[in-house]
Amino acid sequence: MAPAKLTRRTLLTGTAAAAGLALAGCSSSTDEAAAPPSRKPGEKITLAFWSWVPGIEKSVDLWNSKNPEVQVKLEKVIAGNKGAYPKMFAALKAGNPPDLGQVEYQQIPSFLLEEGLTDLTKLGINDHAGKFVDWQWQQGVFGDGVYAVPQASGPMGMYYREDRFKAWGVQPPTTWDEFETAARAIRKADPKSYICSFPPTSGGWFSAMSWQAGAKWFDVRGDDWVVNIDSEQTRQVATYWEKLIRADLVKPEPDQQSGWFAEVQAGTIGCWVAAQWGDAILAGNAANTSGKWRVAQMPQWDLAKPASSNWGGSSTAVLNGSKYPKEALEFALWLNTDPASVDLLIQGGYGWPAAKDAFSGSALDKPSPFFGNAKYNEVFAKSDQLIDKSWKWIPTISDTHRHLGDAITAAIAKKTSFADAIATVQQQTVADLTAKGLKVATA
């Protein structure tokens, strides 16, 4: 028997403990699945692949040069909920999706709710599980199915301008208390500068900050999703950043936007607490600052209990409706495990590899002129080991992140409590899950 297909009904009503999703009631159908389609010997095909990963075209070109019968046509799409995902969902609904799509780990449950991903177990993907870091592999595992090939993650660190810190007379902070002290010293030394910005609309960044503090926003208990956004740890993070904003110690503004890049280039923003993939963003948008950056671990809440977190990370998924899922999977596996491909992806700045042992000897494991010829990725290698990897995502995470951005932006504008904003987001998230027909509990 082929593995049962994970349908929307299964996701809503299947076995919670097995799938890692809050489900209750009926199990999925166990009808015999049809053999997946495959190309005929000698037949030339073209696979459509939608992705936003920088530099991924080099890996695609390498594949195409080696596989004349199975070509991949790459279409670059805009990342996120205003670009790639609405386009993918529309294509799935219309019955003409690409064979492969870039899908962030946090978005996999959303795609499963819409029956948008192919169960790759019937194509033999489990034979390749040992090639990947376990926690990233698990991001695509639901029940007995595997629905994505892991690509990369985003362990967190602190990028900082060594030259500016020296000019301001501050040391890289190792704790969040030291971070506040350094922020005050910088504002006193140079009223035009800030230690960092605070991105009000970035729910993903705020998730990572809460993750590091020990929050567990989502879990499964029996047949229920458990929502615990409004926790002590999240309120600690929210209150901390509210305090810094009210005291004019950090600048509330979106990161990775033109204004922010201008400040980074000018050195009026001293650091960026961000994921490993941020290195390529800095190098690509602030080339004039080459040699002036360094990287340290995230400041800690408790030095005796060091912790980090993850921001981002994505997979290569075979979308339901692909005419050639077998060949699509072969490409996805090659893309994310072949040493030459992985090295090209690393050079493009795709994040922290999901492939096991990809760090040692790779482009990541070399001194970087942009970071003062330091082997800065050693920081992220350690960070990766300090992540609580039990963090879970929910099918409505995009809505939660949007609620966060709206609530915190409003709290800044109205000078109301960040803690109250978090409580509102908790209520909104429960309502979102309930509207999907999922059973929900609160911690």
pLDDT of residue 17: 40
In angstroms, the first-to-last Cα distance of the chain is 39
CB 210, CB 234: distance < 8 Å: yes
pLDDT of residue 5: 44
What does pTM read for this prediction?
A: 0.86
pLDDT of residue 6: 45
| Higher pLDDT, residue 13 or 247 | 247
CB 58, CB 51: distance < 8 Å: no
pLDDT of residue 16: 41
% of the chain exceeding 90 in pLDDT:
81
Mean of the per-residue pLDDT values of the chain: 91
pLDDT of residue 403: 97
Mean pLDDT of 70-76: 98
Of the listed ranges 16-20, 152-156, 212-216, the one predicted with least confidence: 16-20
Domain residue ranges of the chain, discontinuous segments joined by + = 8-153+311-367, 156-310+388-442
Per residue in 3-45, pLDDT (tens digit) is: 344 454 445 443 344 344 543 333 333 334 556 677 888 899 9
pLDDT of residue 36: 65
CB 255, CB 199: distance < 8 Å: yes
- Distance from chain centroid for Cα 323: 28
Domain range 156-310+388-442, CATH architecture = 3-Layer(aba) Sandwich (3.40)
pLDDT level of residue 284 (50, 70, 90 thresholds): very high
pLDDT level of residue 214 (50, 70, 90 thresholds): very high
Tokens of 361: 């000897």
Mean pLDDT of 94-102: 97
pLDDT of residue 30: 36
Of the listed ranges 66-75, 79-88, 154-163, the one predicted with least confidence: 79-88
pLDDT of residue 390: 85
Per residue in 172-194, pLDDT (tens digit) is: 999 999 999 999 999 999 999 99
Mean pLDDT of 309-333: 97
pLDDT of residue 81: 80
What is the CATH number that goes with domain 8-153+311-367?
A: 3.40.190.10
Per residue in 382-417, pLDDT (tens digit) is: 999 999 988 889 999 999 999 999 999 999 999 999
Per residue in 344-389, pLDDT (tens digit) is: 999 888 999 999 988 888 889 999 999 999 999 999 999 999 999 8
